[in-house]
Amino acid sequence: MTERDKITQKAYRIANREKRRLYSVEYNRKNREKLILKKRVAYEQRKLPYYIVYSLNEGYCGITNNPYNRMFKHKHSGRDVDGYFVLDICKTKKEALMSERKYHEQGYKGKHPKCK
């Protein structure tokens, strides 16, 4: 994107600020139930168990409460996520962190420099 395009976009946003605000208010009003449900699902996900996930091709071990979403994000950031599986399921984050540390001590790679 060129500098000229950036300036043009900024000018557009400034010129149409009120129009965009009204659109946003109207969208939120029309989709109120859908947005509430989305927030409720996000809240409920915090109560889910924590999974210790291991990727065979990357040799990576990490914790998440949504393995599908985690692998989706890894895949779109350029990592090879084929062949992942769940090593452990924990009820609390603290328990999951302790379990992850145990796997890292056994030689599995992780985010932390000590674990590589």
pLDDT per position as a tens digit, 42-56: 777 767 788 888 887
Q: For a pLDDT cut of 90, what percent of the chain falls above it?
A: 19
- Residue linked to tokens 């062949």: 83
In tens, the pLDDT along 96-112 reads 889 988 888 888 877 65
Q: What token pair was written down for 114? A: 């000590």
pLDDT computed for residue 112 by the predictor: 55
Q: For a pLDDT cut of 70, what percent of the chain falls above it?
A: 93
- How many other CB atoms are found less than 10 A from the CB of residue 102? 14
- Predicted TM-score of the model (pTM): 0.52
